[in-house]
Amino acid sequence: MAEINPFSLSGTQYSQHWPSLVSPDYWLNQGFILATGQPKSAWRWSPGATFLSTQRVVLTGVVAYLAMVFGGQIIMKKVAKPIRLKRITQAHNLILTLISGFLLLAFMEQCLPAWRDKGFFFTICGSESWTQSMEVLYYLNYLTKWLEFVDTVLLVLKKKKLEFLHYYHHSLTMVLCFEELLGRVSVAWIICSINLLVHVIMYYYYFLASCGKRVWWKEVVTTLQIVQFVVDLGLCYFCLYTHITFHAVVPLPSIGADCRGTRLAAYYGCVLLSSYLLLFVQFFIKTYIKGEKGGHLGFRAMNYDELKSKKVEKTE
């Protein structure tokens, strides 16, 4: 049980590594106690019993999401004006900014000490790196992918044209997070952490934009997403290769160690992230280099001439 004093310099939970006041693990534990009457350490991921933990539910969610996208667009064509839920949009973006930031810090609290004490390879491949505390974070991160479906609902109501990349990315990322939980893929902490960092920046941009603020760095977010997938793929292919060569019947160059996680989850992650990289690069070229006005992904082509003219007007 966690200590009562949130200002203490050390925790009594085995998974708490930071002072309670700034420890995500401490506050998560308090939240579990408040919501369930039990500490966080009592929670377990149980496929079929845990909320949203079956393949049928995931498949149903993807189908329902895509039906909302295409059905919603058909319905909104018959509506005269876009439905702009400004306050809800602002609240949604701010909430996801804060949640992403909190989960990012929570992953750092768990992974940085393991990296320091046992090395980087242990954190991405070690069989003992998948702990119950990490499983809680993976599950919470998975739940945020359902919450992010609201992004699309708001865009459909605004009668925005959606890029294929938008709904492809939203729907299959939720599936990816689910498969990582089932497959217990240790390297997932880096994929999640980088994604959360990008989402802190991205949803904060969305929040500012929904408040009517002109933000100059929206192109940077797309660039960060591309860098994210490059890093993710490098690590995922390394871990998959390490796992395959360790179990290969025919001797292959290997580091002589195994990587935790099922091959199905690893194959799915590598293929999906590869497609993300290709699609985001294509989107970047079309939007920022060619300057075409494509569908909505959250960013519009940056018109530098327009920005310069507006600066001139302000100075005059």
Per-residue pLDDT tens digits for 141-178:
999 999 999 999 999 999 998 989 999 999 999 999 99
Band (pLDDT 50/70/90 cuts) for residue 69 is very high
Dist. CA 176–CA 219, nearest whole Å: 26
Read off the pLDDT of residues 33-62 as tens digits, 9 standing for 90 and up: 999 999 999 999 999 999 999 999 999 999
Assess contact for 187 and 261: CB atoms under 8 A: yes
Read off the pLDDT of residues 271-316 as tens digits, 9 standing for 90 and up: 999 999 999 999 888 888 876 554 445 444 344 344 344 443 333 3
- Is pLDDT at 23 greater than 70 in this prediction? yes
Q: Quick count: other Cβ atoms within 10 Å of Cβ 250? A: 5
Q: Measure CA 114 to chain center.
A: 22
- Provide φ and ψ at 231, rounded to 5°: -65, -45
The answer to whether the CB of 169 falls within 8 A of the CB of 95 is no
**Residue 75, pLDDT score:** 94
- DSSP string covering the chain: ---S-TT-SS-SSTT--S-GGG-HHHHHHHHHHHHHSS-GGG----TTTSTT-SHHHHHHHHHHHHHHHHHHHHHHHTSSS----HHHHHHHHHHHHHHHHHHHHHHHHHHHHHHHHH-HHHHHH-TTS--HHHHHHHHHHHHHHHHTHHHHHHHHHTTPPBPHHHHHHHHHHHHHHHHHHHHT-TTHHHHHHHHHHHHHHHHHHHHHHHTT---S-HHHHHHHHHHHHHHHHHHHHHHHHHHHHHH-SS-----S----S-HHHHHHHHHHHHHHHHHHHHHHIIIIIS-----BSS-----HHHHHHHHHHHH-
Instruction: For the beta carbon of residue 158, count every other beta carbon within 10 angstroms.
Output: 14
pLDDT of the residue at 316: 37
Q: How confident is the model at residue 98 (pLDDT cuts 50, 70, 90)?
A: very high
Query: Could you state, in order of their start, the residue ranges of all structural domains in the chain?
Result: 80-315
What's the CA dihedral at 92, 229, 122, 267 to 10 degrees? 100
- CA 76/CA 83 separation, integer angstroms: 9
What is the rounded distance in angstroms from the CA atom of residue 112 to the CA atom of residue 106?
10
Q: Is the pLDDT of residue 4 over 80?
A: no
Give the separation between CA 72 and CA 75, rounded to whole angstroms.
5
Whole-number pLDDT of residue 291? 67
